[in-house]
Amino acid sequence: MTLFYFFAIIAIVASLLVIAQRNPMYSVLLLIASFGALSGLYILLDAPFVAVTQIIVYAGAIMVLFLFVVMLLNAPHEDTGLDTRVHPMLRPGAMRLGAVLAVGLIAELVWALTSGSGSGSFPSGPVISVATIGRRLFTDYAFPFEVTSVLILVAMVGAVVMARHDGVAGGKR
Amino acid sequence: MTPLLIAQIALTLLVFIALLSSAAGMVYFERKVAALLQQRVGPYLVGPQGLLQPVADVIKLMFKEELRPRAADPLLFVLAPIISATAAFAAFAVVPFGAETTLFGLLDTPLRLQVADVNVAILVIFAIASMSVYGIVLAGWSSNSKYSLLGGLRSSAQMISYELSYGMSLASVLLLANSLSLTDIVNGQAGTWFGFIPRWFLFLQPVGFLIYMTAGVAETNRAPFDFPEAEQELVAGYHTEYSSMSFAMFFLAEYVNMVTVSAVATDLFLGGWHGPLLPESLGWIWFLLKVGAILFFYVWMRWTLPRYRYDQLMAFGWKVLLPVSVLNLIVTAAGVLAFGL
């Protein structure tokens, strides 16, 4: 249990600090620390494969790309423009919506934490070995798996379209 | 404390010290081999045959002034070499380097010659390799110097590009071994075919071995892929602003990474500690010999091949190495399915 609280506290504090930072470089690093703590939690749940995959995919691959972009843009400080402390509801446009969403999220979290009747048990035993994970993924969960891959493909195509400026909306370069 | 626990702690310490001294030894070895290849003598003044040269180098580095640019990010500048060195040492923890031994009957239960036996060892190595890029990238960014930044950017681009092929070559081996544990993979290579060809995965996966070695050289930033520190273009790349022991830590990390990549290659493709003549309990001698051979190959390559151009590196990684490794994986999978290897 001690280890659980150790990792949980690191994960929560690091995640909070991610959004409390002005320097995007530190935000990226704190996010990596948070992923590391999550991976520790997976190990405590007896899921070493998921733990290592978490490190490889999120901390190792995706965050390197984040870091790469932050370094390329070379933005040491975020330009918010609204540095003065204005009440969230008085800010223009989308920011007001953000405040509403934040209130909604807090309400949901409180509801989820208070109404939950302890942790539910998994319907079908622990999935530890790589073979079982693979079999599950391609039989029981084949549809969500394929849908996710299509979703990622869509996101990738979208990124390519937005990055290419020779389209209609972006104007000629 | 049980004797086994004491033996395990001693083993962990031994591995740590061995890695540290292997880095020092590699510096000497590299300079001597370079001298041999260039028909020079190499270091010969300090100690017999220049053997104490690494000691002299370390003492010199320790007494250098520790400099930090005023514009550098103070926290990350200090953290970067620590990340590099930690990642380099951590990867070796899951590498087995010998069969189980009772230390000539001293222990009741046999001791495994491996710091930590993890059942997803291959993935752990891959994960730590992917984390080691942070040391270099952060060093490049936090130095606040254009050469360092370019070095850091290059290294992250290079490591991302070659990590994919690296992972694919690992995957083709684990298809053959049917396990993610390195101990199982090594034991899957015991014995011989027709009585004289060792059952190494090298013979089943020649393409996989080539991909692994190429990607390994790129991952460790060694020549001919040493773009992050290309002297002619970037002064010293990501560690331009580092001096004294923090520079030494990058240096250490590079050599320890080389040793780890060679040790993993030995376990994956060259049968680990299995070899003829010697009994199973002395298998680690075979292991050391094989690792030494790969390390020699590394040094040999560095002093033989010139550095590529950066666009050649990227084109090769994405347009040649990656398709070949995907093809290799598919062929391996088909082979395993058809012949049940």
Instruction: Identify the H or E element spanning B99.
Output: strand B98-101
With 60 as the cut, is the pLDDT of residue A77 above it? no
**Closest Cα in chain B to A49:** B120
CB contact under 8 A, A48 and B120: yes
Query: Does the pLDDT at position A114 exceed 90?
Result: no
pLDDT in tens, chain B (341 residues): 677 778 778 888 888 888 888 888 888 888 888 888 888 888 888 878 878 888 888 888 888 888 878 877 788 888 888 988 888 888 888 888 777 766 666 666 667 777 777 777 888 888 888 888 888 888 888 887 788 888 888 887 888 888 888 888 888 888 888 878 888 788 777 777 776 777 777 777 888 888 888 888 888 877 777 766 666 777 777 777 787 788 888 888 888 888 888 888 888 888 777 777 777 767 778 888 888 898 888 888 888 888 888 888 888 888 888 899 999 989 888 888 887 65
- Distance between CA atoms of B212 and B168, rounded to whole angstroms? 9
* Mutate: best of A35, A49, A52, A74, partner B, most B CBs <10 A: A52
Record the tokens describing residue B136, joined without a space.
């270099």
Selected for mutation to probe chain B from A68, A69, A72, A74 (highest B CB count within 10 Å) is A68
CA distance A130 to A90: 52
d(CA B124, CA B160): 17
Whether B236 contacts chain A with CB within 8 A: no
pLDDT at A173: 42
CB contact under 8 A, A56 and B157: no
B198 — phi, psi (to 5°)? -65, 145
Nearest to B156 among A56, A67, A130 (CB): A67
* Chain B residues 166-195 with CB within 8 Å of chain A: 180
Q: How far is B74 from chain A (nearest CA, A)?
A: 12
Is B118 in CB contact (< 8 Å) with chain A?
yes
Rounded to whole angstroms, what are the CA distances from B22 to A47, A169, B37, B51?
34, 59, 21, 13
Q: Write out the two tokens for B259.
A: 């040793």
Read off the pLDDT of residues A1-31 as tens digits, 9 standing for 90 and up. Answer: 788 888 889 999 998 888 887 778 888 888 8
Q: Chain A interface, mutation test: which of B117, B138, B174, B185, most A Cβ atoms within 10 Å?
A: B138
ipTM at complex level: 0.75
Report the percent of chain A where pLDDT is more than 90. Answer: 5
pLDDT at A118: 57
Chain B hits for A60, CB-CB cut-off 8 Å, are: 126-127, 130-131, 133, 163
CB-nearest partner of A130 from B141, B163, B180: B180
Q: Helix, strand or coil for residue B198?
A: strand
Whether the CB of B152 is below 8 Å from some CB of chain A: the reply is: yes
Residue pair B215/B166 in contact by the 8 Å Cβ criterion: yes
H helices of A45-139, in order, are: 48-54, 63-73, 94-115, 130-138
Q: How near does any CA of chain A get to the CA of B286, in Å?
A: 30
A72: tokens are 């390329």
pTM beyond 0.90: no
Whether chain B has a CB inside 8 Å of the CB on A10: the answer is no
